[in-house]
Structure 1
Amino acid sequence: MRFVLAPGHRGDVIYGKELLHGLNPGHVIADRAYDAEHFHDTILDAGAVPVIPPRPQRRRPHACNWRLYKERNLVERFFAKLKQFRRVATRYDKLLVNFRGFVIIAAITIWLT
Structure 2
Amino acid sequence: MGRSKGGLSTKIHALVDALGNPLDFILTPGQAHDLEGADALLPDMAAEALLADKAFDADNRVIEPLLARGKSFVIPPKSNRKLQRDFDREAYKARHLIENFFCKLKEYRAIATRYDKTARTFLAAIHLAAAIIWLD
Letter paired with 1:47: G
Aligned length, in residue pairs: 113
The one-character-per-residue Cα deviations of 1:27-72 (angstroms, maximum 9, x if unpaired) are 1110000011111111112221111000111121222111111111
Cα distance in structure 1, aligned partners of 2:114 and 2:46: 32
Partner of residue 55, structure 2:
33
Name segments (4+ residues, structure 1) moved above 6 Å: none
Partner of 1:20: 42
Quick one: higher RCO (CA 8 Å, sep 6+), 1 or 2? 2
1:75 alignment counterpart: 98
Considering fraction of residues, name the structure with more strand.
Answer: 2
TM-score norm. by structure 2 comes to 0.78
- SS of the equivalent of 1:3 reads strand
CA distance in 2 between counterparts of 1:64 and 1:31 reads 11
* AA of the residue aligned to 1:63: D
Candidates 74, 78, 83, aligned match of 1:51? 74
What is the letter of the counterpart of residue 92 of structure 1?
A: Y
Aligned-residue RMSD, C-alpha? 1.2
> Of the candidates 97, 108, 111, which is equivalent to residue 131 of structure 2?
108
Shift of 1:24: 3.1
Indicate the structure with greater helix content.
Answer: 1
Consecutive unaligned residues of structure 1, counting only runs of 5 or more, are none
Superposition TM-score, scaled by structure 1 size: 0.93
Give % identity. 37
Name the amino acid aligned to 1:79. F
Gaps of 5+ in 2: 1-22
